Structure 1
Amino acid sequence: MRLIWLLAWRFRSNKRQNGFISFISASSTFGIGLGCFVLILLLSVMNGFEKELKEQLLSIIPHAEFKSVYRQGISDWEGEITQLKAHPKVTFVEPYVKATGMLQKGNKMKAVDITGLEPSYAASGFLPALVSTSEWQDFKDDPSSVFLGKGLLKTLSLKVGDKVQILLPQLTDDLSLSAPKSLTLKVVGSLELGGELNNYTGFMHMSLAAETQNITQGAQGIRLRFDDPFEAQNLTQEIGYGLKPEVYMSNWTISDGNLYQDIQLVRAVVYIALSLVIAVACFNIVSSLVMAVNEKQSEIAMLKSIGADNSLIILVFMMQGTFNGIIGTLCGVVLGVMFSIYLADISLFIEGLFGIQFLSGDVYFIDFLPSKLEWHDVYLTASIAIGLSILATIYPAIKASRINPAKVLGH
């Protein structure tokens, strides 16, 4: 094996080697390194988006909702909540009443998705963490208070302490719309929910929302959160079929799952596209080795004439080509890992230098470029690159082993 390494390195570093062969060899190394670098970096960005999706957006929106099929709501919702809390994968449960209406301030109007919550249940949820202690206390003390997203406040030129009118549509017994009911609510807090949620989300007291919506049982439905939001689809069905009241089942993958699906789609596309980039770079290994074999015919012939067998010649040229793959992979992996770890700082520096912003907090649920390095992605990328490099050396190495020393030395 030591002889194989020595011959492979000698053939690769020969200063008399054709300049064009050296260029092709260097380009293959560069291509493999670039493919590994970009693949690791983009996969880290996708992992970062998935992490922020779970920790930010999915910490605010409910993972599952069970809405009564009847207008009067869920009768024994307190008993159902007690039963749901006993589920080992459920971390939070609360009743709710949801309505869509129009906010009006002067001559300005804006659509709002308003959710009525019971403060005693919501106190252990996400809402108190988004507002100050005094604002939360004001909300609990005043049944006619409301929290609104900061986008709504900006659109309607509202501030905390102002009063706003909300128009809620009413359904008749034959499910036709009647004149909307008007409520006057006091804004007690501004919410930073992230992205588009800021522009249409509001929270009020469940008792007032139920009264306005003619929900006589007090709660229109029950919503909950799981310890792992990515199991929501299966758990929602499992729990929903076990509830006594008849309910409509919904989970976050239906209402907001498009973002998660986009992340998974981009991840798959990145894997395929950049693996092909690495494969194309490996074709340069084939080209450089074929030309190297043609150039080294006399050296191969002399080796075979002094006793080198075909397996040794094959291993020498496979090792020579694999050098390019290993060097390119190592360079790409090191750069990819470093950039992935410091991507947030690098993006902030570029944003400050050129006065640009990669992600806008008004559109996306985050305003920075996230990154999360997963070592199994690094190992997989390195394995793909080195594996393709080894495969690329097989044909030229076999061709080298088939050289007839008598024919070559005779010329």
Structure 2
Amino acid sequence: MFRPYEFFVGLRYLRAKRRNHFISFISVTSVLGITVGVAALITVMSVMNGFEKELRDRILGMVSHASITSYGGRVSDWESLREEIRGDERVLGSAPFIEREGMLARQGELTGGMIRGILPDEEPAVSDVGNEMLEGQLENLAAGEYRVILGSELARSLRVSVGDQVFLMVPEGNVTVAGFRPRMRRFDVAGLFEVGMYEYDRSHAFIHLDDARTLYRFNEGEVGGIRLKLNDMFEAPAVARDIAANLGSGYFVRDWTRQHANFFAALQIEKTVMFIILFLIVAVAAFNIISTLVMVVNDKRSDIAVLRTIGTSPASVMGIFIVQGTVIGIVGTLVGLGLGVALASNVESIVPWLEDVFNTEFLPADVYYISDLPSDLQWSDVTRITGLAFVLTVLSTIYPAWRASRTQPAEALRYE
């Protein structure tokens, strides 16, 4: 089978038994360094993608993909507004809501929170709270019964459970001779939920939409806004812009990316920094390739001189050593690719096994809400990592190969 001359000689140098075992050691170290770097990058990026996906899913279990509110804070004709939105095929579901601040109290315990009025039958169309109930269910909320569903951490801070009573105070009230008196109402605890995000489990409570109207003095038929669920949450910014343009002035449409922009921006910065740090492992391995090839060039000076005397061009000499270094890079990259994909695909099984072996718990459930290491292997990341590693190893061969091409036959063979 035909093989280019440079390719044949470069592979022969790799197969040949070296006189200098230190060069062989550095070559193996280079392969291992690239393997470890590529595998670590694929695994860590997959885990970070898994954490981001898990957090995003938990956040969107409470926060809708988009919401429509008015600049006055009240939407009067919400049913006709929803009918207008339903014409957009990108909108899968919608539900009205009222969300205001309030204070919850019981037997000396007092804490603030966000009180959200909902329609129990329609809330599952825009959120997953109904699937995260620890006790009770959304259907326990009934108009006029003044029942409340609390987040697990909020209930723990108030020291209440299902069947207990709490007082809900709103920052609105009446001015009397005795001073300002906030409105207060007694609610029965009808359920507890836990979405796995402390921010929501500690601060949110649900009541019926009609009870929220009465408590916050909304007129009949008024709501705070409409929450939307979309067929593609990543298209939320574009859909929000289109809906806002169709509704005209007076309405404000906000999507989930704007509400949590800082949080997800911080996650993206962490992923970028982690990528740069771990890619330094590959860079160190690439420097090892440079060292290996420089020593090989010094070791093969007489061979290079002989090749030059029989007519080999400087470009061919460069090609020989580029092939040699590139093969080292390809082997390390491919082995790292296989190892990284295997680890990223099985990290959720490997971590519990390691915890059993070392008798420890990496993410205690009583400290972290996400007690398992999630993994989301994305082939775009795999392609980017392996591509950059391969390019870096090829670039690292250029200087040693150039030095080899500059070898002068007469000077190299003078003392042979």
TM-score by length of structure 2 reads 0.89
1:386 to partner: Cα distance: 1.4
SS at structure 1 position matched to 2:246: coil
* Pair 1:206 & 2:200 matched: no
Rounded Cα–Cα distance in structure 1 between residues aligned with 2:163 and 2:248 = 42
Rounded Cα–Cα distance in structure 1 between residues aligned with 2:88 and 2:325 = 57
SS at structure 2 position matched to 1:119: coil
Rounded Cα–Cα distance in structure 2 between residues aligned with 1:145 and 1:55 = 27
Tell me what 1:37 maps to.
39
Q: Deviations over 1:251-274 (max 9, x none)?
A: 323333333222221222233333
Tell me what 2:172 maps to.
170
Rounded Cα–Cα distance in structure 1 between residues aligned with 2:150 and 2:293 = 67
Q: Report the AA paired with residue 342 of structure 2.
A: M
1:179 to partner: Cα distance: 2.5
Tell me what 2:276 maps to.
272
Rounded Cα–Cα distance in structure 2 between residues aligned with 1:282 and 1:172 = 74
Go from structure 1 to structure 2 and tell me whether the alpha carbon gap of 1:111 and 1:357 turns closer, same or farther (over 3 Å shift): farther
Query: More displaced, 348-357 or 319-328?
Result: 348-357
Rounded Cα–Cα distance in structure 2 between residues aligned with 1:247 and 1:38 = 48
1:293 to partner: Cα distance: 0.7
1:38 to partner: Cα distance: 1.4
* Pair 1:390 & 2:394 matched: yes
1:35 to partner: Cα distance: 1.5
SS at structure 1 position matched to 2:149: strand
The root-mean-square deviation of aligned C-alpha atoms, in Å, is: 2.6
Judge conservation of contact 2:149–2:206 (CA < 8 Å) in 1.
yes
Rounded Cα–Cα distance in structure 1 between residues aligned with 2:124 and 2:326 = 61
Q: Percent identity?
A: 33
Q: Report the AA paired with residue 356 of structure 1.
A: E
Which runs of 5 or more residues in structure 2 are unaligned? none
Go from structure 1 to structure 2 and tell me whether the alpha carbon gap of 1:164 and 1:337 turns closer, same or farther (over 3 Å shift): same
Judge conservation of contact 2:31–2:328 (CA < 8 Å) in 1.
yes
Rounded Cα–Cα distance in structure 1 between residues aligned with 2:96 and 2:347 = 41
Tell me what 2:103 maps to.
102
1:360 to partner: Cα distance: 5.0
Judge conservation of contact 1:90–1:225 (CA < 8 Å) in 2.
yes
Which residue of the other structure, out of 335, 343, 349, is the alignment partner of 1:345? 349
1:317 to partner: Cα distance: 0.8
1:296 to partner: Cα distance: 0.5
Rounded Cα–Cα distance in structure 2 between residues aligned with 1:248 and 1:363 = 36
Structure 1 consecutive aligned stretches of length 4 or more whose deviation exceeds 4 Å: 359-364
Taking the TM superposition and a 5 Å limit, the aligned residue runs for 1:5-404 are 5-70=7-72, 73-125=74-126, 126-131=128-133, 135-140=137-142, 143-170=145-172, 178-196=180-198, 197-216=200-219, 217-243=221-247, 246-352=250-356, 353-358=358-363, 360=365, 364=369, 366-404=370-408
Q: Deviations over 1:160-195 (max 9, x none)?
A: 12221111110689xxx9532111111111101112
Q: Deviations over 1:268-313 (max 9, x none)?
A: 2233333343233212212221121111111112222334333332
Q: Deviations over 1:333-374 (max 9, x none)?
A: 12111110111122223344443242757655x332111111
Q: Deviations over 1:27-48 (max 9, x none)?
A: 3222222221111112111221
